[in-house]
Amino acid sequence: MKPYRILLFDADDTLFDFQKAEEQALDKALQMHGFPHDEAIKQDYKKINSELWQAFEKGLIDKEAIKSQRFTRLFQQYQIAYDGTLFNEEYLRYLGEGSDLLPDALAVCARLAEDFDLYLVTNGIAQTQRSRLDRSALKPYIKKMFVSEESGYQKPQKEYFAYVEARIPDFAHDQVLLIGDSLASDMMGGIHAGYDVCWFNPHHKQNKGHLPLTYEIDDLRALFDILYGSEKR
């Protein structure tokens, strides 16, 4: 059993229930204006948003482009005459209220915080992510959150993780485990940074790129076996 000391957790879809937060924020923002809010428009938004975030993770666009384009493109598709950038700001205010956690996230982090230093590493939008953490029961257990927007880089870029490393006391690569749900940003980024990585894969997706993962789990409670082995937990 490797003696880890630092646990780097991705936020959305690893600890936070982003799907629920996104659904609620979309509903509230669309209904506020009397816009369509059926499943079709939500799925179209998610498709556009996913494409933009993938472009961001590849370094092809910046975060401001995501903010300005996602609803602008959606409204063009639905012939809605409203400023997409302004609507994005309204949506983000609602999204910042979404602090629901995934099953067992709180209990797992509360236990692990007794023996490890827990940090969040996220590509999310800074104001939104900080609002969500502040509202969350997780906050007492997280030493610090590192948001890509504040670093000037993003996962999986090595520069982002260098930014993180410089801000964690007594950082040592061989004492780090990164836990996240994204192969492209979390796992690839962690591997390139020289960390052990744990892919949180509750939906049993394929590791199509055959990344050399240290661990793979489908339940956060499986971290106890990785970190404590047969010890009492």
Which of the residues 10, 12, 186, 196 is marked catalytic? 10
Q: Are strands 196-200 and 117-122 parallel, antiparallel or unpaired?
A: unpaired
CB contact burial 89-123 (16+ within 10 A = b; e otherwise)? ebbbebbbebbbbbeebbebbebbbeebbbbbbbb
Q: Which amino acid is at 69?
A: Q
**Residue 10 annotated in active site:** yes
Q: Is the distance from CB of 21 to CB of 98 less than 8 angstroms?
A: yes
- Count the helix, strand and coil residues of the chain and give each as a percent rounded to the nearest 5: 50, 15, 35
CA distance 91 to 199: 30
β-bridge mates for residue 150, sequence order: none
**Residues designated catalytic:** 10
